[in-house]
């Protein structure tokens, strides 16, 4: 365990909490047919989810008659809760990592939680061909940055293709400053190939060193390279590649480069023209995490269609719907619902795009993504069917803990507003100042 | 003879359909829903609505197969026709240079073959307001970027698409702006407060001066001054000064709203307040002024960290509670097709569902002065109709047909064409 101390604290808190039973809900497990019944939460996990359950002694009962319980929503592409996302100075910034800049008090986390999201893959930005390392977090609002990390989730790294890494839409590439290599899609491919050529050589140096030490031959350890280490992780399947891409040509390019170097792209992100090369994506074994209906905001998004998710799904690709936005992350349930209009997906297929599918893409499906016995009690209670625009999340549980409660939020508002007014009053000119709060 | 032939051809082209749409549930918006009903359309207009309509002899009958019919939706703020791909400046006709351009009219620059038209229409939106400016703050456009045009999403030319080329004059009311979005920049550029205030004050002075000049011009014009040279910019101000053409006053927050309303009152303008996102205590001022409002998307993020998380989701409900008339606008193109979904989000957070539907149909029709011809399913109105297998504000619903002036536009677009083509890829 990487963070045994914080984990122990967390576990302790959960162990102390009494069991919770959510009763009479329309339960949508996603991995099996929906039913009306109960879910028993114990020690942060789902103990039982069935029409009839055994209510543990001393359990808190929540009557959810007429309401809908689904697994906590998982966003496979987000930038919430971080101080900065782009180390834009170099086109290979694999030494930088999101884990170091998590801001656990950022309000976007709470707003996302209030929309039913319980897990997010927080990515580096798309300014670079090879960006920084990603962090999978649980939206444990109120916890520290360390405690938000999804313990045990396999690390990832962001790649980016097309207009963003070649800086098409940035002032510097329009003559206002110095151009940075690459400025074409050809250059983007080259940057990635160069980096992995270097990484292979670096991997070889270390292997030779290890062989020598095993044979007890004299050896000097190679100099550590924090840029290349994450790429060796990729080559040795210890780190997932999440690649931002739009056009079919660049998607295909990346799949072939990865195959040449002997690794696999875990997810293609955005992948707006994925529907054009769905066959090739499925054959490579990459997942696809896309928008519901974004299009036409730039040239590479002009052939984007809202049927993308449906086509890829029908052609055997593991698909999820993501937000990439502090706004859209608050309503991923209705984003998923659009695939029923655009491509005729079933309710279960639509909901899988924001639950079990992203969980599989991040390889955390043993823990989250469905309502099944033994999984983490990450749950959302909606007042209406979650695929309806009229649905509002009422309660959101993370590890069995009630981290968002609409009733509680509403009840706290008068007090919060009064506190805000008091602060404003104090800052008004002429108001009696409170004693100096800052030393300087 | 030839002229006669042309006139006849034109009449045939413009001559809209006549048919009976039967076996449908009608959602008139102006009246309670009517199950098992029919709509009689003659020459593109609604001739009758009811449960006991007999098909006139020889008329085309369309079987609605138990589906629902809604009035075509109206999106009160887009740039449709003027901007194709946001990031490509060559294809952008929003945001003219200069601070005062009341003479500009979007309609005449609308590309009738824009892919946004069929894409937006396929979700049941039959009319849009096209603005001469983008609200992201990146396009320039100045204080008066031009007029707003109201157009229907069907026609071979912009002339055929016109509902009202000068539906309102747009005025971006000066605000103290502490950050500006610049294309390609990852985050907004911050502006020091003093600098922002100076810019705001000088823009306010420019605005006052421009209106003073326009008033002088108006007086000279009324006096019949023979020496007066025609000024196209100031000519465009006359209907505005006379209160014949409304002013779409764009003001987002409390302070700007107060000042904009005070300005509109002083100048005796016919005001439509637009782009409202955070009225705060100015809600009472809006109510007192009795002006209608064009709201931004309810999914806009709350402006302040300590705002309630559903601050903008619940804004339409709060306006409704105050009795303020409002309509919804996207203020963008790529999500213009989702305006009905936006209305539903408002309903999720307290707006009565009937009012949500109204905010994208009858309310905008009224605000834009078209309530005698658009916005509801009533006798005499244009047959702008949407046929769907459920509630058009819901994402799961399929829109199966769209009629504009009784013409079946279909629901095909670039998106459905690419869908079929690549779904069939071997």
Q: Report the distance separating Cα A62 and Cα A16, nearest Å.
A: 19
Average pLDDT, chain A: 93
Residues 52-111 (B) with a CB less than 8 A from some CB of A: 84-88
Reported residue count of chain B is 426
Q: In chain B, which residues have their Cβ closer than 8 Å to the Cβ of A163?
A: 87
User: What dotted CATH number matches A73-367?
Assistant: 3.20.20.140
In this model, does residue A172 exceed pLDDT 60?
no
Using one digit for the tens of pLDDT, what is the confidence trace for B203-225?
999 999 999 999 999 999 999 98
In this model, does residue B420 exceed pLDDT 90?
yes
Asked if A138 contacts A398 with a C-beta cutoff of 8 angstroms, the reply is: yes
Q: Report the distance separating Cα A59 and Cα B75, nearest Å.
A: 50
B341 at the A interface (CB within 8 A)?
yes
Q: Report the distance separating Cα A176 and Cα A165, nearest Å.
A: 17
Q: Residue B419 and residue A387: Cβ atoms within 8 Å?
A: no
DSSP code for B178: S
**In Å, how far is B168's CA from the nearest CA of chain A?**
27
Kind and range of the H or E element at B48? strand B45-50
B415 at the A interface (CB within 8 A)?
yes
Query: Residue B201: which residues within 8 A CB-CB, separation 6 or more?
Result: none
3-class DSSP state for residue B411? Answer: coil
Using one digit for the tens of pLDDT, what is the confidence trace for B173-197?
999 888 876 655 556 788 999 999 9
B141 pLDDT band, cuts 50/70/90, is: confident
B395 at the A interface (CB within 8 A)?
yes
CATH of A1-72+369-428, one of 2.30.40.10, 1.25.40.10, 3.40.50.1220, 1.10.540.10: 2.30.40.10
ipTM reported for the complex surpasses 0.85: yes
**In Å, how far is A240's CA from the nearest CA of chain B?**
25
Q: Report the distance separating Cα A255 and Cα A252, nearest Å.
A: 5
In this model, does residue B17 exceed pLDDT 70?
yes
In this model, does residue A9 exceed pLDDT 80?
no
Q: Which of A114, A314, A340 sits opposite B309 (nearest CB)?
A: A114
Q: Residue A331 and residue B345: Cβ atoms within 8 Å?
A: yes
B393 at the A interface (CB within 8 A)?
yes
Q: Residue A307 and residue B186: Cβ atoms within 8 Å?
A: no
Using one digit for the tens of pLDDT, what is the confidence trace for B304-337?
999 999 999 999 999 999 999 999 999 999 999 9
In this model, does residue A169 exceed pLDDT 90?
no
Q: Residue B422 and residue A170: Cβ atoms within 8 Å?
A: no
Q: Where are the domains of chain A?
A: 1-72+369-428, 73-367
In this model, does residue A439 exceed pLDDT 80?
no
Q: In chain A, which residues have their Cβ closer than 8 Å to the Cβ of B309?
A: 107, 110-111, 114, 330, 409
Using one digit for the tens of pLDDT, what is the confidence trace for A105-139?
999 999 999 999 999 999 999 999 999 999 999 99
Fold match flag (A1-72+369-428 vs A73-367): no
- Cα-to-chain-centroid distance, residue B298: 15
Predicted local confidence at residue A23, as pLDDT? 98
B338 at the A interface (CB within 8 A)?
yes
B425 at the A interface (CB within 8 A)?
yes
In this model, does residue B84 exceed pLDDT 90?
yes
> How many helices (H) and strands (E) would you count in chain B?
13, 18
Residues 362-391 (B) with a CB less than 8 A from some CB of A: none
Q: Report the distance separating Cα B254 and Cα B270, nearest Å.
A: 20
Predicted local confidence at residue B139, as pLDDT? 47
In this model, does residue B6 exceed pLDDT 90?
no
Q: Which of A295, A297, A330 sits opposite B87 (nearest CB)?
A: A297
SS3 labels along chain A: CCCHHHHHHHHHHHHHCCCEEEEEEEECCCCCCCEEEEEEEECCEEEEEECCCCCCCCCEEEECCCCEEEECEEEEEECCCECCCCCCCCCECCCCEHHHHECCCCHHHHHHHCCCEEEEEECCCCCCCEEEEEEEEECCCCCCHHHHECCCCCCEEEEECCCCCCCCCCHHHHCCCCCCCCCCHHHHHHHHHHHHHHHHHHHHHHHHHHHHHHCCCCCCCCCCCCCCHHHHHHHCCCCEEEEEECCHHHHHHHHHHHHHHCCCCCEEEECCCHHHCHHHHHHHCCEEEECCCCCCCCHHHCCCCCCHHHHHHHCCCCEEECCCCCCHHHHHHHHHHHHHHCCCCCHHHHHHCCCHHHHHHCCCCCCCCCCCCCCECCEEEECCCCCCCCCCEEEEEECCEEEEEHHHHHHHHHHHHHHHHHHHHHHCCCCCCCCCCCCC
Using one digit for the tens of pLDDT, what is the confidence trace for B264-284?
999 999 999 999 988 999 999
Q: Report the distance separating Cα B313 and Cα B94, nearest Å.
A: 28
Predicted local confidence at residue B418, as pLDDT? 98
B397 at the A interface (CB within 8 A)?
yes
Write down the residue that tokens 């069929």 correspond to.
B118
In this model, does residue B74 exceed pLDDT 80?
yes
Predicted local confidence at residue A429, as pLDDT? 83
Q: In B43-74, which positions are buried (b, 16+ CB within 10 angstroms) versus exposed (e)?
A: ebbbbebeeebeeeeeeeebebeebbbbbbbb
A339 pLDDT band, cuts 50/70/90, is: very high
Q: Name the residue with higher pLDDT: B175 or A194.
A: A194
Q: Which of A294, A334, A391 sits opposite B334 (nearest CB)?
A: A294
Predicted local confidence at residue A438, as pLDDT? 47
Predicted local confidence at residue B12, as pLDDT? 47
Q: Residue A416 and residue B306: Cβ atoms within 8 Å?
A: yes
Using one digit for the tens of pLDDT, what is the confidence trace for A64-104?
999 999 999 999 999 999 988 999 889 999 999 999 999 99
3-class DSSP state for residue B50? Answer: strand
In this model, does residue B16 exceed pLDDT 80?
no
**In Å, how far is A5's CA from the nearest CA of chain B?**
31
β-strands B385-388, B399-404 pairing: antiparallel
β-strands B326-328, B293-295 pairing: parallel
Q: Which of B348, B393, B396 sits opposite A341 (nearest CB)?
A: B396
Q: In chain B, which residues have their Cβ closer than 8 Å to the Cβ of A307?
A: 415-416, 418-419, 423
- Report all structural domains of chain B as residue ranges with CATH numbers, in order of start: 1-71+375-426 (2.30.40.10), 73-374 (3.20.20.140)
């Amino acid at each position: 365990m990487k963070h045994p101390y914080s984990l122990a604290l967390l576990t302790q808190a959960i162990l102390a909490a009494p069991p919770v039973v959510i009763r009479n809900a329309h339960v949508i497990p996603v991995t099996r047919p929906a039913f009306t019944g109960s879910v028993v939460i114990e020690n942060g996990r789902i103990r039982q989810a069935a029409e009839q359950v055994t209510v543990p002694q001393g359990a808190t009962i929540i009557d959810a008659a007429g309401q809908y319980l689904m697994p906590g929503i998982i966003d496979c592409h987000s930038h919430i809760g971080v101080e900065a996302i782009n180390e834009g100075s170099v086109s290979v910034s694999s030494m930088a990592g999101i884990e170091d800049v998590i801001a656990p008090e950022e309000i976007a986390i709470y707003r996302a939680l209030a929309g039913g999201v319980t897990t997010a893959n927080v990515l580096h930005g798309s300014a670079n061909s090879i960006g920084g390392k990603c962090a999978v977090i649980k939206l444990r609002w109120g916890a520290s940055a360390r405690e938000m990390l999804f313990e045990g989730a396999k690390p990832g790294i962001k790649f980016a293709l097309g207009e963003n890494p070649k800086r098409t839409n940035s002032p510097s590439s329009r003559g206002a400053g110095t151009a940075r290599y690459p400025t074409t899609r050809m250059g983007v491919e080259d940057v990635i190939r160069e980096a992995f050529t270097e990484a292979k050589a670096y991997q070889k140096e270390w292997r030779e060193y290890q062989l020598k030490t095993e044979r007890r031959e004299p050896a000097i350890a190679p100099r550590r390279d924090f840029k290349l280490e994450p790429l060796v992780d990729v080559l040795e399947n210890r780190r997932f590649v999440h690649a931002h891409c739009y056009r079919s040509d660049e998607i295909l390019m990346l799949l072939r480069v990865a195959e040449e170097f002997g690794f696999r792209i875990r997810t293609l992100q955005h992948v707006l023209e994925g529907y054009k090369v769905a066959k090739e994506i499925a054959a490579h074994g990459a997942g696809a995490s896309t928008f519901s209906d974004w299009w036409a905001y730039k040239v590479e998004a002009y052939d984007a269609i809202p049927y993308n998710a449906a086509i890829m799904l029908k052609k055997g690709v593991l698909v999820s719907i993501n937000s990439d936005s502090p706004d859209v992350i608050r309503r991923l349930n209705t984003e998923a619902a659009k695939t029923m209009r655009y491509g005729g997906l079933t309710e279960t297929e639509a909901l899988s795009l924001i639950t079990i599918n992203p969980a599989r893409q991040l390889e955390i499906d043993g823990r989250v993504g469905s309502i099944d016995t033994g999984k983490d009690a990450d749950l959302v209670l909606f007042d209406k069917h979650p695929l309806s625009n009229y649905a509002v999340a009422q309660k959101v549980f993370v590890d069995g803990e009630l981290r968002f409660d609409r009733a509680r939020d509403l009840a706290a508002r008068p007090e919060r507003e009064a506190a805000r007014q008091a602060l404003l009053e104090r800052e008004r000119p002429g108001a009696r100042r409170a004693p100096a709060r800052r030393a300087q | 003879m030839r002229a006669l032939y042309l006139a006849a051809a034109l009449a045939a082209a413009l001559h809209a359909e006549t048919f009976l749409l039967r076996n449908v549930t009608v959602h008139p918006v102006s009246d309670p829903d009517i199950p098992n009903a029919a709509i009689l359309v003659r020459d593109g207009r609604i001739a009758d609505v009811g449960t006991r309509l007999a098909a006139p002899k020889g008329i085309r009958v369309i079987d609605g197969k138990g589906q629902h019919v809604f009035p075509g939706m109206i999106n009160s703020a887009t740039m449709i026709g003027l901007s194709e791909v946001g990031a490509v400046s060559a294809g952008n006709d929003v945001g003219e240079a200069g601070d005062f351009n009341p003479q500009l009219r979007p309609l005449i620059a609308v590309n009738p073959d824009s892919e946004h038209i069929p894409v937006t229409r396929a979700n049941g939106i039959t009319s849009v307001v096209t603005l001469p400016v983008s609200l992201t703050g990146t396009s320039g456009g100045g204080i008066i970027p031009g007029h707003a045009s109201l157009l229907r999403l069907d026609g071979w030319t912009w002339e055929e698409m016109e509902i009202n080329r000068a539906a309102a004059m747009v005025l971006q009311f000066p605000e103290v702006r502490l950050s500006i979005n610049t294309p390609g920049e990852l985050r907004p550029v911050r502006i020091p407060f003093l600098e922002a205030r100076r810019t705001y004050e000088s823009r306010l002075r420019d605005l006052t001066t421009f209106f003073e000049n326009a008033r002088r011009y108006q007086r000279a014009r009324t006096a019949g001054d023979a020496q007066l040279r025609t000024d196209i910019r100031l000519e465009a101000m006359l209907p505005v000064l006379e209160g014949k053409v409304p002013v779409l006053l764009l003001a987002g927050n409390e302070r700007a709203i107060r000042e904009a309303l005070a300005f509109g009152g002083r100048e005796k303008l016919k005001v439509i307040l637009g782009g409202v996102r955070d009225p705060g205590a100015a809600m009472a001022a809006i109510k007192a002024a009795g002006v209608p409002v064009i709201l931004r998307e309810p999914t806009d993020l709350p402006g302040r960290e300590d705002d309630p998380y559903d601050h903008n989701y619940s804004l339409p409900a709060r306006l409704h509670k105050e009795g303020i008339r409002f309509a919804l606008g996207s203020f963008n193109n790529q999500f213009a097709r989702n305006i009905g979904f936006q209305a539903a989000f408002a309903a999720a957070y307290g707006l009565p569902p009937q009012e949500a539907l109204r905010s994208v149909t009858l309310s905008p029709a009224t605000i834009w002065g078209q309530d005698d011809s658009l916005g509801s399913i009533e006798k005499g109105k244009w047959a702008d109709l949407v046929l769907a297998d459920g509630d058009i504000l819901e994402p799961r619903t399929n829109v199966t047909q769209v009629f504009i002036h009784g013409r079946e536009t279909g629901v095909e677009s670039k998106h459905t064409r690419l869908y079929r083509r690549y779904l069939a890829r071997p």
